[in-house]
């Protein structure tokens, strides 16, 4: 039995004291002593407050996204087919383009192009050229080929870090410019001339990045036909897509995957295209191709 220590009160007197003067009347009621209805009401009040706070935070987040950041405005357009990207050429010919993103060298494709005397534009990323510096210089010395830029890190060009195919893009306008110009300067230092064309890793851009890269004096190459599906298609599919090309198409292949079906498919398709009388050009062979109408 607990007896409160009041000198002038006996246990009996304390028990008989009016409720409003009992010492324990000033204590905070325990959960057990709180009526159930009151506890439920308090629970709903806390829940309502939490929901209200969540809505406020969401509203603030959307407001923050809507406020442009000086020098790094939020991008509106994103993709492979934006104004300023060249996906077709104004010529009665095909433009074959080949990417070297990183990794190995598919000499089979280069040998085939030389044997068939077919010109092509070769897009070289910095990771690939660092592994194959002698091959780069050899390709650059061959008038059949035009060497172009494919990115310092081989990533999409974005001003806010958008991703394509799981590859995160550049996160600012300055980084997008560096992705193009840094690669261009590495190639220029290696072969003695500045590339005229650029294609980003994944060929994805946003509109501000396109404008900034074109301001460097570079044409931006897209494509109208993905000839080898990112070096993933079997030979028959590569041949089918290549044979389906029409004059003015820009075809995209890869020459850094010797294990792929790209070369085998081109061996089937290119002789047949030549039999049809198809012509082939490098991108820089087409006057004004780097500046397509908006």
CA dist., res. 11 & res. 4, Å (int): 8
Q: DSSP 3-state helix, strand, coil percentages of the chain (rounded to 5)?
A: 40, 15, 45
80-285: CATH topology is TIM Barrel (3.20.20)
> Do the strands 94-100 and 120-124 form a parallel or antiparallel pair, or are they unpaired?
parallel
Which residue has tokens 């439920």?
40
Contact yes or no for 258/108 (Cβ under 8 A): yes
Quick one: which H or E segment has residue 108? Answer: helix 107-116
Distance CA 111, CA 113 (A): 6
Kindly report, residue by residue over 69-80, the tens digit of the pLDDT: 333 444 458 999
> pTM of the entire structure?
0.75
Query: Parallel, antiparallel, or unpaired for β 163-164 and 197-198?
Result: unpaired
E strand segments, the chain: 78-79, 85-86, 94-100, 120-124, 145-149, 163-164, 167-168, 197-198, 205-206, 219-221, 225-226, 250-254, 280-281
- Going from N- to C-terminal start, the domains of the chain cover 1-67, 80-285
CA dist 121 → 42, 62, 70, 96 (Å): 71, 44, 37, 6
In tens digits, the chain (294 residues) has pLDDT values of 333 332 333 333 333 333 333 333 334 344 444 454 444 455 545 655 555 555 444 444 333 333 333 334 444 589 999 999 999 999 999 999 999 999 999 999 999 999 999 999 999 999 999 999 999 999 999 999 999 999 999 999 999 999 999 999 999 999 999 999 999 999 999 999 999 999 999 999 999 999 999 999 999 999 999 999 999 999 999 999 999 999 999 999 999 999 999 999 999 999 999 999 999 999 999 999 988 876
What are residue 280's DSSP bridge partners? Answer: 94
- Classify the C-alpha dihedral 156-122-254-102 as positive or negative: negative
Instruction: Report the candidate in 180, 176, 173 with the shortest Cα–Cα distance to residue 151.
Output: 180
φ/ψ of residue 130, rounded to 5: -70, -25
């Amino acid at each position: 039995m607990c007896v409160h220590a009041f000198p002038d009160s006996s246990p009996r007197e304390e028990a008989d004291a009016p409720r409003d003067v009992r010492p324990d009347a000033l204590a905070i009621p325990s959960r057990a002593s709180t009526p159930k209805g009151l506890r439920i009401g308090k629970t709903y009040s806390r829940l309502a407050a939490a929901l209200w706070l969540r809505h406020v935070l969401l509203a603030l987040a959307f407001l923050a996204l809507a406020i442009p950041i000086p020098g790094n405005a939020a991008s509106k357009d994103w993709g492979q087919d934006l104004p300023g990207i060249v996906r077709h050429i104004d010529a009665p010919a095909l433009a074959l383009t080949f990417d070297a993103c990183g990794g190995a060298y598919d000499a089979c494709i280069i040998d085939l192009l030389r044997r068939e005397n077919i010109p092509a534009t070769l897009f070289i990323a910095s990771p690939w050229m660092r592994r194959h510096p002698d091959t780069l210089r050899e390709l650059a010395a061959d008038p059949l080929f035009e060497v172009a830029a494919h990115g310092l890190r081989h990533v999409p060009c974005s001003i806010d870090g958008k991703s394509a195919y799981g590859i995160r893009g550049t996160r600012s306008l300055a980084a997008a410019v560096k992705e193009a110009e840094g690669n261009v300067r590495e190639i220029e230092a290696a072969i003695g001339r500045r590339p005229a064309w650029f294609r980003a890793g994944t060929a994805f851009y946003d509109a501000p990045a396109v404008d900034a890269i074109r301001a460097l004096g570079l044409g931006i190459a897209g494509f109208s036909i993905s000839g080898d599906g990112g070096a993933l298609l079997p030979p028959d599919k590569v041949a089918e897509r290549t044979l389906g090309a029409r004059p003015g198409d820009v075809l995209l292949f890869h020459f850094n995957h010797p294990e792929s079906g790209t070369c085998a498919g081109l061996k089937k398709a290119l002789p047949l295209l030549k039999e049809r009388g198809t012509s082939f050009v490098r991108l820089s062979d087409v006057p004004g191709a780097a500046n397509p109408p908006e």
